[in-house]
Structure 1
Amino acid sequence: MKAFDREAVKSAIKESVLRVYAAQHSDLDLYRNTLDCFSSSIDSVIQGISLDEWMIQEKERQVQKTKQNAIGTLHEEVMGAIPGVENLPVGNLIDIISIGHRLVAEVKNKHNTTKGNHKVAIYHDLAQALVTRAGYTGYYVEILPKGQNQYNKPFTPSDNKTNRKLPERADIRVIDGKSFYELLTGHKEALSELYLELPALVAEIINEKYKTALKANRITESDAFTYNFSKAYGE
């Protein structure tokens, strides 16, 4: 890897990958948070399946949700493995800080996962983080951008309380994931490089921990592997 220290990235994502693996092999109890018996019966009828089939389907859905939550901090972990970049613990005002790049950032995985009122909160969090960091820039990072676009522009979300956009500031910006990785590493294809190497890293982590024989090339040699990335980033 040119843009990253491979072993540093592997170490950074290890615990998240292991949590995903554990979720996949967990014996999930559907009743632990009180199963909605009304919803389950109605949905079974509408889908034309038995209640037993619905419960199998629901268990798979909940396992998938658990896995997505476990891997939700993947990019912050990878960024924290880049020299001069710190991934701050959960509960801090911001996710990422880099003294060398003079920036702070809040990182979200997908452009449409953050609601308008939450974007307003992110704007104010970035503004607050900049108060004591003169000359820094605050970034709201959307790893998966809307419409395959690349952008680095002022972040001016609409405030639903005033029905107006928040003030434009040159030091509070919204940026796509590809552009942000390039900014942190100095490598234009850093995100592509990470994507290409990630399956091998995951396979290594699981194989070393559980003595399994997972093969990354089953994923990377698929036409869908390249296609999926191109559909996200227009390449």
Structure 2
Amino acid sequence: MKAFDRDHLKEAIRSSIKRVYEAQVSELDLYRNTLDCFSASIDSVVQGISLDEWLKQEKERQIQKTKQNAIGTLHEEIIGSIKGVENLPVGQLIDIISHDKKIIAEIKNKHNTTKGNHKVAIYDDLAKTLVDYPDYVGFYVEILPKGQKSYNITFSPSDNKTKKKRDVRNDIRQIDGRSFYALLTGDSNAIDELYKELPALTAEIINEEFETELSSAIVSSSNAFTFNFNKAYGK
């Protein structure tokens, strides 16, 4: 890999990949947190399926949700593996800091993950942190952008309570994932390289941790693998 140290990257994501696999193979008790029997019966009728089929479907849905939660901080971990970049512990105002690049950042996986006053809170957290780092730039990062767009623009969200936008500042910005990875690594194709290598890294980690014999080739060689990436970032 050119943009990343492969060994550092692999170790950074190892814990998250392990949790994803454990969610796949563990026994899920649908009744542990009290199943909504009313919703289950109505949804079964609407879908035209039996309750047994619905329960199987619900189990698969909850497993997928657990997996998504397990990799919720994946990009923070990946970015933290880049030389000169630190992935800060949970509970800090921000997710990422790079003293080399003079950058701080809050990472969100998808453009529509954060709405309303949550964006204002991100702006305020960046602004508070910049008080201690006055010559740094704060970024609100959307790894998966809307409409395959690339952008690095000023970030001034609207406050739903006051109906006013936060002040426009050149040091508080909104940026897409491709542009942010390029900014940190100096490689415009960094996110492409990352995406292509992740299946192999995932298989290696699971095989090492659980003595399995998974292969990533069935994923990375499929047409959908490239198609899905292009739908997110364009060709």
TM > 0.5: yes
Letter in 2 for 1:189: N
Give 3-state SS (helix, strand or coil) of 1:182's partner: helix
Give 3-state SS (helix, strand or coil) of 1:35's partner: coil
Q: How many angstroms does 1:15 deviate by? A: 0.3
For residues 14-40 of structure 1, give each alpha carbon's deviation from its aligned partner in whole angstroms, at most 9, with x where no partner exists: 000000000011101111111111111
Partner of 1:230: 230
Structure 2 residue 20 is the aligned partner of structure 1 residue 8 = no
1:105-184 correspondence runs (5 A): 105-184=105-184
Partner of 1:89: 89
Letter in 2 for 1:21: Y
Moved more, 180-189 or 157-166: 157-166
Partner of 1:37: 37
Tell me the distance in 2 between the aligned counterparts of 1:194 and 1:76: 13
Give 3-state SS (helix, strand or coil) of 2:134's partner: coil
Structure 2 residue 205 is the aligned partner of structure 1 residue 199 = no
Moved more, 111-120 or 194-203: 111-120
Give 3-state SS (helix, strand or coil) of 1:75's partner: helix
Partner of 2:99: 99
Letter in 2 for 1:42: I
Letter in 2 for 1:50: S
**Could you list the runs of 5+ residues in structure 2 that have no partner in the other structure?**
none
Tell me the distance in 1 between the aligned counterparts of 2:52 and 2:178: 43
Tell me the distance in 1 between the aligned counterparts of 2:9 and 2:176: 20
Tell me the distance in 2 between the aligned counterparts of 1:120 and 1:181: 24
Give 3-state SS (helix, strand or coil) of 1:92's partner: coil
Partner of 1:24: 24
Q: How many angstroms does 1:211 deviate by? A: 1.5
Q: How many angstroms does 1:162 deviate by? A: 1.7
Q: TM-score, normalised by structure 1?
A: 0.99
Q: How many angstroms does 1:164 deviate by? A: 2.1
**Could you list the runs of 5+ residues in structure 1 that have no partner in the other structure?**
none
Tell me the distance in 2 between the aligned counterparts of 1:114 and 1:191: 22
Tell me the distance in 2 between the aligned counterparts of 1:173 and 1:134: 14
Aligned residue pairs total: 235
Give 3-state SS (helix, strand or coil) of 2:65's partner: helix
Moved more, 94-103 or 160-169: 160-169
Letter in 1 for 2:200: A
Give 3-state SS (helix, strand or coil) of 1:114's partner: coil
For residues 104-132 of structure 1, give each alpha carbon's deviation from its aligned partner in whole angstroms, at most 9, with x where no partner exists: 00000000011111111101010011011
Tell me the distance in 2 between the aligned counterparts of 1:87 and 1:214: 29
For residues 160-213 of structure 1, give each alpha carbon's deviation from its aligned partner in whole angstroms, at most 9, with x where no partner exists: 112222111100000000000000000010000000000000000001111211
Tell me the distance in 1 between the aligned counterparts of 2:116 and 2:234: 26
Tell me the distance in 1 between the aligned counterparts of 2:182 and 2:49: 48
Say what the alpha-carbon RMSD is for the aligned residues: 0.6
